[in-house]
Structure 1
Amino acid sequence: MGRQLVPLTLDNLPDLPKKCRTCVFWELDPVSGDAAVKTGRPDLEKEAWISAVLLEWGSCGRIVYVDEAPVGFVLYAPPAYVPRSTAFPTSPVSPDAVQLMTARLLPAYQGQGLGRVMVQTVAKDLLRRGFKAIEAFADARWKEPACVLPAEYLLAVGFKTVRPHHHYPRLRLELRTTLSWKEDVERALDQLLGAVQKDPVLRPL
């Protein structure tokens, strides 16, 4: 079963799940986001946001493919490009960090370590680009897939709490600590082209 993590572009944007492709939770402030939904144009707003970030900053996501079929994705960008981040009680994101916005894997592909590989791939990309950390707003009460990632998942892949909160703590992953991951990342990425067995365990991401 061949696996690949490919940079997000306007060409492969349609490979995001439909619900995520039309979601502008992070990309717009709450008022603008509600307006986009009411006018029925959130997909165009999403495309415009990704286009602007790609032009001004560069790659802002990865799509996971298994046997050429999209099974997951991750989005990230500097906080200046993420208007919704200012609405959280634990904001702002630190000025030396990039925000991990959201990520998703299809249920059949959860529990295989792909979530960790996605985070490691983002970390490797940002290290190359000179950033020091990744931060994320987490949901400590997570119950079902949503735009805000579960705190339990982020803690499991190496994030630490930098600003506690009963519902939306802010977590941080120091990229310098991932330098020791380099060999693991290379091995993991190499294994994306190899054969692995599906894990029927459905763990949240």
Structure 2
Amino acid sequence: MSRRMGNLTLDTLDDLPRSCRSCVFWELSPDCSTSQPRSPGRSCAGDPGLDKEAWVSKTLLEWGSCGRVAYVDDMPAGFVTYAAPQHVPRASEFPSGPASADAAVLMTAHVVPAFASTGLGRLLVQAAAHDLSKRGVRALEVFGDARGEPGACVAPADFFRSLGFKTVRAHPHYPRLRMELRHLPGWGEGAGTIDAEVERWLASVTIVQRA
């Protein structure tokens, strides 16, 4: 039985949901895609799975940890990805961009349906923020979806506002929001705090059995 949160690596990449494993919306240059900001990206090479692997490998080597994956009883329950702006080509396409040079970009925060409404989304963002704070990153920025359209590659802006993100550039569809990592809102301080909260959450969650 395993209840843990680990790093996103080439070894854990296949644990992502299939649709996310093959989505390169954030990872590819806008020149590689003719899609709009709410649609999955397309691979220049025609193989998004390989492009995803290449992006993770390059980002890990050049920048460091770029994601966290939560597991409950060895079942992937959710994940979050993030990177420096230079590793997130899609961010330059948003009308409220580009992201600030002193911030990391939160790309994806996804929770599988069995663990929806459990607080895991908040915990994943919290884990990302603490990881980045320990590495000296000043802020975390995200492009939110003000319309909350289902199936989008951009998470709802209201979700991030509920976690303490503040709008730094308004837009009717895709506002850019920011959280200063020196003052994490109501999350305590230090790596021990987030580790303890992860343990408490993972120990309390049960898998929803579906017919």
TM-score, with length taken from structure 2: 0.87
- Corresponding residue for 1:203? none
Q: Once the 2 structures are TM-superposed, how far is the Cα of residue 186 of structure 1 from its aligned partner? A: 3.9
Q: 2:173 aligns with which of 167, 172, 178?
A: 167
2:83 maps to which of 58, 68, 77 = 77
2:37 corresponding residue in structure 1: none
The answer to whether the 8 A contact 1:116-1:157 is kept is yes
Equivalent position to 2:187, from 168, 176, 181: 181
Cα deviations by residue, 1:125-170 (Å, 9 ceiling, x for unpaired): 0111001110001110112132111101111111111111100100
State the shift of 1:197 in Å: 4.9
1:106 corresponds to which letter in structure 2? V
Tell whether 2:197 aligns with 1:191: no
* Distance (Å, rounded) in 2 between the aligned partners of 1:167 and 1:193: 34
Report deviation, 1:120: 1.0
Distance 2:60 2:149 in 1: 32
Aligned to 1:16: 16
CA distance in 2, matches of 1:133, 1:38: 31
Q: Secondary structure of 2:184's partner? A: helix
Alignment map for 1:69-148 (pairs within 5 Å): 69-148=75-154
How high is the sequence identity, in percent, across the aligned residues? 51
Distance 1:2 1:11, change over 3 A: closer
**Which 10-residue stretch deviates more, 79-88 or 186-195?**
186-195
Which has the higher relative contact order, 1 or 2, with Cα contacts under 8 A spaced 6 or more apart? 1
**Which 5+ residue runs of structure 1 have no aligned equivalent?**
201-205
CA-to-partner distance for each residue in 1:79-133, whole Å, 9 max, x for gaps?
Answer: 0001111101011111110000011101120111111111111111011100111
Flag structure 2 segments of 5+ consecutive residues without an equivalent. Answer: 35-40
- How big is the alpha-carbon RMSD for the aligned residues of Structure 1 and Structure 2? 2.2
- 1:134 maps to a residue whose letter is L
Deviation >6 Å, runs of 4+: none
TM-score between the two structures when normalised by the length of structure 1: 0.89
